[in-house]
């Protein structure tokens, strides 16, 4: 009876003893390592990995110093091999080179003069002079207006700089842009101008200028002057704009479109809205100098004077 009692007591004692906590799964670390490094880690907890022995620095020097030849276990050797594979190459110090910046194009010239932004340090002298003396100045002379209309039509083939370089030669070829003389040019004179290699002006363009001169003479007979006919589109007063940036300056305007349609009805050629607006800018019918350009206020003062002021 006593023996049976002691056996039962031992059983109850064993039940009352709390079970020892299961050892943590040592494969947790290996599980994460498998996600990062392409190596196999054995399921063994006999030699746990310490943080001091597994430095995860990405520099080659720190890897070599953390894992020395003393690491003899296969696990450490595999980790060392994997870390060396993913470590970036050793950085080499490159001597700093001096960056030479090219001078940016600026509208500010010598003497602190500020011009429109499309006039830069690389602009040709003839173009800068045209901007400073002619562009935006109101023009009321018939011959000058006809000249600027003809030059604006050449923008189909050239830019302003190329046109202005040929300006004197064009004046000689087209008799000073006198509409009466140009309208009387015959076939021989047209072909002679078209064959001039210095002008490089197509024959069709020469014929357009001659035809436009004939239209000007008709308008003079009907309206008294070409100047009065053209300035009537803007009510004999230049349009003053206040543009601050080049992107604000339009290529055409409602006034230019209306003028273009009317000129086409009168037989003019090469007078699309864009060409007509360029003509209006050049002859001062519209003031498109930027507000911070030194010519803006000067052209505005001229525009605010009475009609036909010279």
Contact indicator for 226, 265 with CB cutoff of 8 Å? no
Annotated ligand binding at 42? The verdict is no
Annotated ligand binding at 289? The verdict is yes
72-82 residues labelled b (16+ CB within 10 A) or e (exposed)? eeebbebbbee
Q: Cα separation of 59 and 76, whole Å?
A: 18
Please give the C-alpha separations between residue 251 and each of 160, 247, 277, 281, 285, in angstroms, as whole numbers. 15, 10, 7, 10, 14
φ and ψ of 83, to 5 deg: -65, -35
Rg (CA), the chain: 44
Annotated ligand binding at 134? The verdict is no
Residue 114, strand partner residues: 108
Contact indicator for 193, 173 with CB cutoff of 8 Å? yes
Annotated ligand binding at 266? The verdict is no
Binding-site residue positions = 116, 131, 289, 293
Binding-site residue positions for Zn(2+) = 116, 131, 289, 293
């Amino acid at each position: 009876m006593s023996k049976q009692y002691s056996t039962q007591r031992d059983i109850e004692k064993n039940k009352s003893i709390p079970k020892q906590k299961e050892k943590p799964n040592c494969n947790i670390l290996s599980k994460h390592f498998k996600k990062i490094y392409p190596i196999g880690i054995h399921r063994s907890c006999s030699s746990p990995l310490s943080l001091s022995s597994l430095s995860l620095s990405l520099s080659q020097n720190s890897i070599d110093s953390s894992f020395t030849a003393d690491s003899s276990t296969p696990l450490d050797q595999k980790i060392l091999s994997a870390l060396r594979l993913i470590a970036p190459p050793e950085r080499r110090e490159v001597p700093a080179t001096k960056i030479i910046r090219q001078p940016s194009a600026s509208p500010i010239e010598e003497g602190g003069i500020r011009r429109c932004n499309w006039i830069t340090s690389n602009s040709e002298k003839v173009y800068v002079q045209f901007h400073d003396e002619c562009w935006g100045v109101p023009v009321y002379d018939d011959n000058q207006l006809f000249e600027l209309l003809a030059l604006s039509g050449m923008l189909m083939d050239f830019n302003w700089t190329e046109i202005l370089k040929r300006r004197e030669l064009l004046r000689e070829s087209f008799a000073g842009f006198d509409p009466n003389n140009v309208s009387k040019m015959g076939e021989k004179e047209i072909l002679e101008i078209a064959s001039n290699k210095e002008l490089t002006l197509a024959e069709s363009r020469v014929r357009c200028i001659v035809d436009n001169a004939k239209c000007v003479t008709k308008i003079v007979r009907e309206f008294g002057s070409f100047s009065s006919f053209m300035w009537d589109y803007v009510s004999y007063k230049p349009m003053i704009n206040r543009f601050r940036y080049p992107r604000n300056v339009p290529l055409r305007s409602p006034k230019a479109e209306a003028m273009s349609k009317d000129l086409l009805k009168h037989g003019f050629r090469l007078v699309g809205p864009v060409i007509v607006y360029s003509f209006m800018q050049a002859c001062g019918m519209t003031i498109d100098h930027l507000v911070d350009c030194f010519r803006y206020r000067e052209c505005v003062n001229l525009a605010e004077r009475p009609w036909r002021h010279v």
